[in-house]
Amino acid sequence: MIAGRPSNVHGCDAPFSNPMMNNLSPAEAYPRYRQILRRELPEHYLKPDNHHLIWFAFHAIVISGALWLMSAYFRWWLAPFLGLAIGHSVGCLGFIGHEICHGGAIKNKKLRHLLAGIAFSPYGIGPYLWNRWHNSSHHGHTQSAELDPDRLFLISEYQENPVLKWLYRMSPKARNFVIFSFFSLMMTQHNITMILSYLKDPKSSKRDKAVILFQFILPKAVWITVTALLGWEILLLGYVLPLLIGNAIVISYISTNHFLNPLADENDVLASSLSVTWPKWLAWVDIMHCRFGAHVAHHLFPHAPSRHARKIEEHIEKLWPDRFHVMPFGKALKLLAQTPWVYDTGGVRLINPETGASTETLGRGLTTKPVQQ
């Protein structure tokens, strides 16, 4: 559901061009965001910082403590709440693993991969695959029709996808129910899709393929075996339920970060991402989620410590208020529910292929008004 054609990571059937940019020079279309910002930002904003490792330890304690409590004093009324706590920490560990893999704080590659592998272990996401899929393909080609494995579908791909056709024959409410329910599986599903994609990729050596499979099978086997040995109730409520919750948390961010944006040249960083915010009374959620919602800052400086991301975005908004996209998290999710998830041939509108109804994307006229799907 995340990628238009994840099995075709290195190419697409037809080249994509953004008609909105055709008449602009590179300087006009894409300011030198990073160079300009570096002159504006305090130096320590971009320096390595391993504060997120404190949260790594915190969530490891929450998960292990909740599993012990669940197994030692199992009560049906209590176990789902413990599963919810584990699930939230599983989601948070995903954000921490993401930050670790970008390498801003931990320079030792083996240690970085070990910690990231532990953080990603509930999902079965291997650090080798993540670096290749996320750091290289997604960050290097964000919202590129040809190369971003995490973009939405193209209209040409819709024509070949029976699941999408089935979804868009539903009423908007029924379709949203299916899609948003699938958030609880989507990260795991997309991981498996990417595993299969890179296993088929001719650029993957036999060693690459072995590493990809090993880093998926081992952590999954450990989680399933350990929780199953504690009892089938622990497997269900201490791993399966938390994994569903962790999936939903992570995907709710990923979908808001990019799914309302147009397809764009990967150099047009501000056009390709959306940052989402939490109200002040929920600022602690933003902190625990490694400020993953500050996604524009992250795409400009992937190695920068997340603790400075919101401050970086204050400078971005000051410099480019007409290009910087930010909105409350809840509002972004609401817009996702009101907006089709298939790009038209130009890549700047989202279209319902069955009805022909369409809406603009961010920076191309998207408003907060409900969209007729």
Does 124 map to a domain?
A: yes
Residue 369 covered by a domain = no
Percent of the chain scoring above 70 in pLDDT: 90
- Helix H or strand E encompassing 196: helix 183-200
**Separation between Cα atoms, residue 100 and residue 142, nearest integer Å:** 20
Provide the domain count of the chain.
1
Mean pLDDT of 280-303: 95
Q: Beta strand 153-154 with 326-328: parallel, antiparallel or unpaired? A: unpaired
Dump pLDDT digits (tens) for 62-112: 999 999 999 999 999 999 999 999 999 999 999 999 999 998 778 888 999
CA distance 188 to 215: 14
Establish if 68 belongs to a structural domain. yes
Per-residue burial over 183-210, b if 16 or more Cβ lie within 10 Å, else e, is bbebbbebbebbbebbeebeebeeebee
pLDDT computed for residue 21 by the predictor = 42
User: pTM to 2 decimals?
Assistant: 0.89
Pairing of strands 349-351, 358-360: antiparallel
Distances (CA, A) of 365 to 154, 265, 361: 20, 18, 6
How far apart are alpha carbons 348 and 41 in whole angstroms? 32
Is residue 354 in some structural domain?
no
Tens digit of pLDDT for each residue in 293-320? 999 999 999 999 999 999 999 999 999 9
Residue 373 pLDDT > 90, yes or no?
A: no
Cβ neighbour number for residue 340 with a 10 Å cutoff: 24
pLDDT over 90 (residue 168): yes
Q: Per-residue pLDDT averaged across 213-237, rounded?
A: 97
Domain span holding position 224 = 6-335
Which carries the bigger pLDDT value, residue 265 or residue 191? 191
pLDDT in tens, 245-258: 999 999 999 999 99
Residue 322 inside a domain? The answer is: yes
Task: Return the pLDDT at 368.
Answer: 54
Rg (CA), the chain: 21
**Do 92 and 112 meet the contact criterion of CB atoms below 8 Å apart?**
no
Report the pLDDT averaged over residues 349-360. 92
Contact status, residue 215 vs residue 128, Cβ threshold 8 Å: yes
Q: Convert the pLDDT of each residue in 111-124 to its tens digit.
A: 999 999 999 999 99
Rounded to the nearest integer, the mean pLDDT of the chain is 89
264 pLDDT tier (thresholds 50, 70, 90): confident
Task: Give the Cα separation of 243 and 192 in Å (integer).
Answer: 15
In a domain, 307, yes or no: yes
Q: Give the separation between CA 333 and CA 368, rounded to whole angstroms.
A: 11
Average pLDDT score over residue span 200-221: 96
What is each CA distance from 94 to 120, 130, 252, 280, 300, in whole angstroms? 6, 11, 13, 23, 20
pLDDT digits over 147-162, tens only?
999 999 999 999 999 9
In a domain, 366, yes or no: no
- Does the residue 254 lie in any domain? yes
What pLDDT score was predicted for residue 49? 86
Beta strands in the chain (DSSP E): 153-154, 275-277, 326-328, 342-343, 349-351, 358-360
User: 179 falls in which pLDDT band (50, 70, 90)?
Assistant: very high
pLDDT at 13 over 60: no
How does residue 369 score in pLDDT terms, banded at 50, 70 and 90? Answer: low
